[in-house]
Amino acid sequence: MNSWNYEIDVLMATWNGSPFLEEQLSSLFCQTFENFRLLLRDDGSTDSTLQIVEQYRSQYPDRVFLRNNLARQGACRTFSLLAEESTAPYVAFCDQDDIWRSDKLALSMSAMKAIEAQHGIQMPVLVFSDMAIVDEDRKLMAPSLWKQAHVNPARASFGAMLVQNLVAGCTTLANRSLLLKAMPVPETASMHDSWLGLVAAAFGICHPIHETTVQYRQHRGNAIGAGRGWRLGNIFRLRYDRQFDERIAASRRQSKAFASRYGHLLTHRQKDVLQAWSSSQVLPPFVRQWNLHRSGLRGTTLLNHLAFLVRV
């Protein structure tokens, strides 16, 4: 899969995506920025996913490339394999069930080029955007994921990214310097986008585009859904939340893998933040919250931060 002269490799992991795949692929090949190729890896689909892909391969033989996993790998591992195979200067991650705005790649490239012009191509950069949430029939559920989740992506610091993923993979554009720094994604990473965001926050630039460039479709087959966001009325409801507990456990596993790989490259401040996160669970209430707050392990808005401190 030589890169030819394509500037972007669009990476798509597929698995039984036939209900929505064609709509996503159509939006991809309607992009105003056309200098890209599509690298797909299928994870053992048993529906008509491969037939749909073949239709686009016949239509774009020099721009669509397909690989098949020999055994189920899951989304995170499949995206990691795709990123390791990529040779283009930039990569964009693409889910199988969303719809891209026609200028998504153009907007992302414009932002990326401006950052690299200022900081150089050696700087690891991750550009990401907001999403509108839609249902299976593309009916609007929320015009902005960021507003629904009460997050401010401009505050995507290292500490914030440790405890909450602010980066949706299907909105991202990463440069080659970030991939060289971040790949491969460890098995204990929460997800490929969370790992890339953490690496970019620690060693480079995480840049939000304050526009909705993707219609993020919610359905029963989502690997990770959008969630419902925080509400003022339920911040202080302390009943057990299994999903929140699982996210925190996954975050701790990812931070451990991050410390193992990059510990020798971290600043003293970054090491202190990692230590505060790994040790906070053994501290008593209130001491734990204060330790997290002063270490920069926090939500990115007041409501988001209060909810995090109470629930953790």
CATH assignment of 8-217, among 2.60.120.10, 1.10.1070.11, 3.90.550.10, 3.20.20.70: 3.90.550.10
Strands of the chain, DSSP E: 8-14, 36-42, 64-68, 90-94, 99-100, 125-134, 140-142, 173-175, 205-217
| CA–CA separation, 108 and 59 (whole Å) | 26
Among the listed residues 210, 175, 177, 173, the one whose alpha carbon sits nearest the alpha carbon of residue 193: 173
For residue range 24-50, list pLDDT tens digits in order. Answer: 999 999 999 999 999 999 999 999 999
In the chain, CATH 3.90.550.10 covers 8-217
Q: Which residues pair with 83 in a beta bridge?
A: none
Q: What percentage of the chain carries pLDDT values higher than 70?
A: 92
Res 242: pLDDT: 81
Res 310: pLDDT: 85
Res 311: pLDDT: 82
- Listed in sequence order, the residues at least 6 apart from 234 whose beta carbon sits closer than 8 Å to its beta carbon are none
HEC letters along 235-275: CCCCCCCHHHHHHHHHHHHHHHHHHHHHHHHCCHHHHHHHH
| CA–CA separation, 261 and 254 (whole Å) | 11
Structure-token match 């490799």, residue found: 9
For residue range 47-105, list pLDDT tens digits in order. Answer: 999 999 999 999 999 999 999 999 999 999 999 999 999 999 999 999 999 999 999 99
Token reading at 37:
């190729």
Res 237: pLDDT: 53
* Alpha-carbon 191 to chain mean position: 7
Res 233: pLDDT: 47
